[in-house]
Structures are given as structure tokens and as C-alpha cells.
Amino acid sequence: MKKREVRTLSEVAELARVSESTASRALAGSPLVAEKTRKHVLQIAKLCNYVVNQNARNLRLKQTNVIEVVSPVWQNRRKTIADPFFLELLGAIGDNLNAKGYDLLLSTQPPWNDDWQRNPLMTGKADGIILIGQGASDPMIHELANDYPQVVVWGADIPYQPYCVVGSDNVEGGRLATEHLISVGRQSIAFLGDIKMPEIGHRHEGYRKALAEAGRPYDPDLTFSVPFDVGAVHNSALELVNSGKDFDAVFATSDVIAMSLISELIASGRSVPEDVAVVGFDNVSSSALYNPGLTTIAQDMALGGKLLVEKVLARAAGEEQGSTLMPVKLIVRSSCGVNL
Amino acid sequence: MKKREVRTLSEVAELARVSESTASRALAGSPLVAEKTRKHVLQIAKLCNYVVNQNARNLRLKQTNVIEVVSPVWQNRRKTIADPFFLELLGAIGDNLNAKGYDLLLSTQPPWNDDWQRNPLMTGKADGIILIGQGASDPMIHELANDYPQVVVWGADIPYQPYCVVGSDNVEGGRLATEHLISVGRQSIAFLGDIKMPEIGHRHEGYRKALAEAGRPYDPDLTFSVPFDVGAVHNSALELVNSGKDFDAVFATSDVIAMSLISELIASGRSVPEDVAVVGFDNVSSSALYNPGLTTIAQDMALGGKLLVEKVLARAAGEEQGSTLMPVKLIVRSSCGVNL
DNA sequence: CTGTTAGCGCGTTCAC
DNA sequence: GTGAACGCGCTAACAG
């Protein structure tokens, strides 16, 4: 079994009887080196299992080839349902980063914690940051993006905040969901989600828009605001279920929330979709496996990951990059019954 | 708005009218520096928003404060259901790493790809590696762990492979699941899962053990082996559903597989738990939200993350660390009906 | 084409 | 207590 001891460039150079520079050039595939000596150096390097020390290389090159991904969701992980949506988006980001030769540093803490010591751009740990979700930290993001252009966020495009964001067309998503519920003959449609979060706020806008388009009145009592926290999701679903309100449909603003709601509905003796139709949001992979199959609004996570990576790398390279709103799609399954 | 320009230690030293060494010592909190000058340097540093460059620091210290987490699951992500189980374990790992001041480098590629160039231990990118899952790459893991002790894997403890693994007692889990199905009065219990994967193999052992303990015969035709790949999960669930085999219970080896199966069962007109009882594995958070609530075997992901981190850091520090088998627990919900 | 020199930003000997 | 010098491992500028 060959030992994989880490060696230094100078050792390789010595063994190959060339200078460090030539060894370096050979390894980097520089055209400034003779084909013969290049082959020689490469062979020696392979022989002693040499690999360049990225740390030293990065120090010299003043770059890192690392992008940090931060999920505020994680800040209160213990209270939070591990939403598969995040994993799917993370996967897409990882794939795209990898394809471009970048590493992914995953952080559970926002960059502005510990008096900005956590900021990987300041500590030289990363070349850029992808922030997942804005929530309440929008002002901090604003400040961060103001100092560092190489920041991109996944979330809602808030007009007066001029940082680069990639996200779905949440207004249209909300509209589509609600429109579908209306088209399927439902009369009283409730809304379940934390409208203080920008993305959810937009979905609520779409909800009201669809109502208006159909000439329906908007009843504020049918909007149930729920923080993204497992106890609260549960409580709000319960609150809605036990509200005594008369509703025959619910637009739940995430698939996980929809599932939580449906399980409560069923526990309370109501059936889905017969008694109440439900549409979710995200098109998480398990929504197809749910019983009943969840009708939902699909976000294109693959495209999202691609765009986030493209933009953050472009910005790290000094280019300008604007925000992008991605189209959404209605996926019809069984949780709303059939068209009447 | 204050600019957060990255400055160097020598600049801070100059501004503080001390040498680089003293500045370095002051920032590191060394006792070799006078309290007065320490305060002074710190103030200057704060004033110009100085943060030490970790890259340079690490190069000097020959360490990285980074642990790489690799999930082979990701190698074929496009075909794979984003299993929430992974996200929950990842979260636990991240929390523990963070608490110890370590960063988490997430990799979609195993360290032995690209002729070992991906190995973060060789490139100086990380101090240790946590591998999630063994699957078919067991020989490569074996070789890797042989060269580098600072590797820990989540999976099944295969006796003849002497690397450090943390995992659940899968045999006992399989036994508990099957025993429950028996105790609930089921006669013909099928097994659904890819027994070529070590962990699933152990669960299958437990399945047979419970059967034997109850004096039941083992019918190989009731074991349906399914690769962890979305199409195949679906196909195998379908295969099982349409097999014509006479079964009134299924032990599905993950919650996601269980959900997929149940949705097929229902589509085929059978009801759960009345016609067939199902128990899953993992106790993923959404299993409580499923309809019907999924009876399952809980793995302690929080403990798992804690142990993985403790062991990898200990090993990176040169200490010995053996494998750990964690206890599992049966969580009874509605998918098996009530005890007869 | 190749070797010599210098320095990325920091921590740590060793003198004073 | 403090400063000067050195080197972590590598790449880029400059000669030749």
C-alpha cells in the first residue's frame, strides 16, 4: 500500500532536478515549459503522490475558489422543520459550483454575527456569499451587499433594496394557486403562511390578485399568518382548523405547511380534497408521494442554483449582475379534487 | 456608511506604532503583551475593521479549521430523491462543527475522484473528512482511512473494515420494525430496500431475526431489493404492489420509500393500514405529517452529528477513536393500525 | 525555455 | 515586554 504523504513543491523540484518555478509551471500546465521537462516533472509528482497545497496557492493568488452558502433557516434549526426545499436548492448550488471548480462552504451563521468576524470575505475564506432567504435580516443584508458586491441572495425582489436577488415569481405563484382553487369551484379560500416574510408576502399579494380578478371579496379573517417554525406551523394549522371559519380551500405557502395542515384536517375529521381543497408551494419531491398527491406551485430549483452560482461568480469577478425573477408552474395532483 | 476594506496586520501595527509581532500577539490575546498596548492595538484594529486573514494564519499554523463532509448520495443527485434524512444529519453536523469553531466544507464528490486530487487532506483544504454513507465505495473508503486516520464515516459497522464509523443499530432497528408488525397481527411481511447497501443489509438481518424469533419462516420472495434512486424506488414499489404476492405488511427501509410505497398502494386501491401495514425508517420530520402518520424507527441524528464531529476532531488531533453503534427507537403512529 | 529573487499575510523563534 | 528575522508553500516578476 503506497503512502500518500504530503510533500512540498520544492521536494518535487529537487527530485526532478529543476527549480521550484519550473516545477510550478509544469504542474500548472504553463506553455513556458518544455514538453519534455513537463512530462518529467509530472511523472515525479505522481510518483510521490504530490498535490499542490491549495492554501498556499490561494494565499499567493489572493483568491479562494470557495463560495459560502448561508441559510438563516439554520439559525433556529432546532425549532425548524428541515424543509426538503432547502436541500434541493443546496444540491443545485453544489452541482453548479462544483462544475466551475469551486468549493462550497456551508455556514449556519450569518456573516454579520460576532462583529462581522464571521464574514468570509473579510477573513479571506471565500470569494463570494450566497444567502438563502431574507426574512427579518433584510437590513443587514442591505448593509453587507453595500460593502461587498460579491453577495447574492435567494428570496424576494424587494424593489427599494438594490442587492442582487434570484427568486421565483411569488406573486404569480400565489395568483396561480388561488386561481386554480377558484376554477375548481371553491368558494371560501383561506391563506396559510407568515406574510411578514417577503416571499410569503408576495404570495399573499398574488392570492388577493386572483380573488380580485374573479370578483371575489378579500376576507382578512381567512389569512392565517404562521412563522416558519415547527411548533407554530402546527399551532397555526390547528388554529385554522379550529377557527370555526367556513372555508372549503386553503392556499398553504409551502408543501411542508400543506402537509402539516392536511394531517390536522384529517385528524379533525375533514377529508381532502372533498371537504377542503389544498394547494402547496415548492413542489418538493415528496409532495408527489403524499396522500393525497399535493397540487402545488413548482419552483425551478435547478435553474435557481444555476443562476445563483453564475451571478455570484460574475460579481466576484467584478461584473455587474441584476436580479432575476424565475417563472413558476402549477402542478395539478389530487389535493384539490377534479374540476367541477 | 463605514467601509469594510480588508487591511493587513502590518498596517494595523504601523497605525498602532508597534511591531507586527506585538500586534499579532495582542490580537491573539497572548499574555506576553502589556495590557495597555494590547488595548491600544485592539482599538486600532476595530477602528479600521481589521480581521485576521485566516488563509495566511492557517498556512503558518499548518491547519485549516475545516472539516469536509462528503455525501456519496450526491454523486447521482439528479436521479436521487433529496432525502430529508440527509439534511437533518447535515444540520446536526453543522451545529456541532460550528460550536467548536470549525467550518463545514460540503462536497458532492468523493475524495478519491480525479486521481485523489479532490482529497482535501492532501490539498490542505481540510483537517478531516466525514463521509456520509458507504454503499459501493467501501473499498475506497478503506484505502483512504488506511492512509489518513482523520476520516470518520456514517454508516454500518462492517466488522472486517477497521475504519471509524458512527451509525444506528440497524439490525435492532430492523428487528423492532418487524416485531411490531408481527405483534400487530400481520401474517405476511414484505421487505423493501436495497440489501446491497451495508446499512440496509443489516436492517434485513434484523427483519429475518424477528421472523425467526416469532417462529415464522423467511420467504425470500417477499424481499424486494430497491436501489436508492427515484425511478427505481418507484419501480420497486410498483413491483411489490403488482407482484401478486400476498402480503399484509411491509417494512420499508426509509421513510421516503415508505411514502412512495403507500402512495402506490393507495393508487392500486389498497388502504393503509387496513389492507397493509407499513413501517418506515429514519423518523424524518415529515413522517409525522404523512397521512397516515408513519410508524417508523427513529435514528438519533442529533447524537449522530455530535459523535461524528467529536470523533473526526479527536482523530485529527491524533487520538484513537473507535466506532459507535447508536440505539434506535420504535415510533408508533397510525400506519400499522392498532394492536389487535 | 529556465533559474533567481521576491513576497502573499501571518506566527514564532531568538535576541534585547 | 518588545522588535527583527525567518519561513509556512506557492506563484509571478525579472533576468538570462
- 3-state SS string over B246-258? CCCEEEECCHHHH
The ranges of chain B annotated as CATH 3.40.50.2300 are 66-167+301-325, 170-299+330-336
Q: Is A143 exposed, middle or buried (0-12, 13-18, 19+ CB in 10 A)?
A: middle
Helices (H) and strands (E) in chain B, counts: 11, 12
| Residue B77: predicted pLDDT | 44
Q: Is B317 exposed, middle or buried (0-12, 13-18, 19+ CB in 10 A)?
A: exposed
Q: Using a pLDDT cut of 90, give the percent of chain A over it.
A: 76
| Residue A199: predicted pLDDT | 94
Cβ contacts from A onto B, under 8 A: 173
CA A314/CA A303 separation, integer angstroms: 16
The average pLDDT across A294-302 equals 97
| Residue B236: predicted pLDDT | 74
Distances (CA, A) of B150 to A106, B53, B58, B96, B157: 20, 25, 18, 17, 17
The average pLDDT across A229-244 equals 72
Q: At what angle do helices B301-316 and B84-99 cross, to 10 degrees?
A: 50
Most confident of A114-118, A132-136, A207-211, B8-12: A207-211
The average pLDDT across A225-235 equals 64
Of the ranges A81-90, A209-218, A244-253, which one carries the lowest mean pLDDT score?
Answer: A81-90
Question: pTM of the full predicted structure?
Answer: 0.93
Residue B63 CA and nucleotide D10 C1' are separated, in Å, by 16
pLDDT in tens, A82-126: 688 888 899 899 989 999 999 999 998 899 988 888 999 999 999
Cβ contacts of A95 on chain B, cutoff 8 Å:
77, 108
Distances (CA, A) of B129 to B68, B305, B311: 5, 13, 10
Task: CATH number for B9-61: choose from 1.10.150, 1.10.260, 3.30.10, 1.10.10.
Answer: 1.10.260
| Residue B229: predicted pLDDT | 58
- Beta-strand ranges (E) seen in chain A are 66-70, 103-107, 128-132, 151-154, 164-168, 189-192, 223-224, 249-252, 277-282, 295-298, 324-326, 329-331
Residue B39 CA and nucleotide D10 C1' are separated, in Å, by 35
Q: Is the dihedral of CA A296, A298, A301, A307 positive or negative?
A: negative
| Residue A5: predicted pLDDT | 67
CB-CB under 8 Å, A105 with B262: no
pLDDT tops 80 at residue A214: yes
Q: What does the block give as the cell for A55?
A: 492554501
pLDDT tops 60 at residue A16: yes
Q: Which residue of chain A is at minimal alpha-carbon distance from B124?
A: A53
CA B333 to chain centre: 25
The ranges of chain B annotated as CATH 1.10.260 are 9-61
B166: part of which helix (H) or strand (E)?
Answer: strand B164-168
Residue A48 CA and nucleotide D8 C1' are separated, in Å, by 21
The average pLDDT across A233-248 equals 80
What is the dihedral angle through the alpha carbons of A140, A144, A149, A151, rounded to the nearest 10 degrees?
-60
Q: Which of A100, A173, A207, A53 is nearest to B117 (CA)?
A: A53
Q: Chain B within 8 Å of A10 (Cβ-Cβ)?
A: no
- The pLDDT mean for chain A works out to 90
Number of residues assigned to chain B: 340
Distance from the A208 Cα atom to the nearest Cα atom in chain B, whole angstroms: 28
CB-CB under 8 Å, B106 with A91: no
Nucleotides of C under 7 A from a protein CB: 1-13
CB-CB under 8 Å, B117 with A125: no
Q: Which CATH superfamily is domain B66-167+301-325 in?
A: Response regulator (3.40.50.2300)
Q: Which residue of chain A is at minimal alpha-carbon distance from B265?
A: A291
Residue B11 CA and nucleotide D2 C1' are separated, in Å, by 18
| Residue B281: predicted pLDDT | 97
| Residue B227: predicted pLDDT | 63
pLDDT tops 50 at residue A79: no
Q: Which of A197, A195, A199, A202 is nearest to A222 (CA)?
A: A195
Nucleotides of D under 7 A from a protein CB: 1-5, 7-13
CATH class belonging to A170-299+330-336? alpha beta
CA B233/CA A104 separation, integer angstroms: 29
| Residue A102: predicted pLDDT | 96
What does the pLDDT profile of chain B (340 residues) look like in tens digits? 455 666 899 999 999 999 999 999 999 999 999 999 999 999 999 999 999 999 999 999 999 999 999 986 545 444 455 688 888 899 899 989 999 999 999 998 899 988 888 999 999 999 999 999 887 788 899 999 999 999 999 999 887 778 999 999 999 999 999 999 999 999 999 999 989 889 999 999 999 999 999 999 999 999 998 665 555 666 777 788 888 888 999 999 999 999 999 999 999 999 999 999 999 999 998 899 999 999 999 999 999 999 999 999 999 999 999 999 999 999 999 999 974 4
- On the question of a cis peptide bond just before residue A198, with omega within 30 degrees of 0, the verdict is no
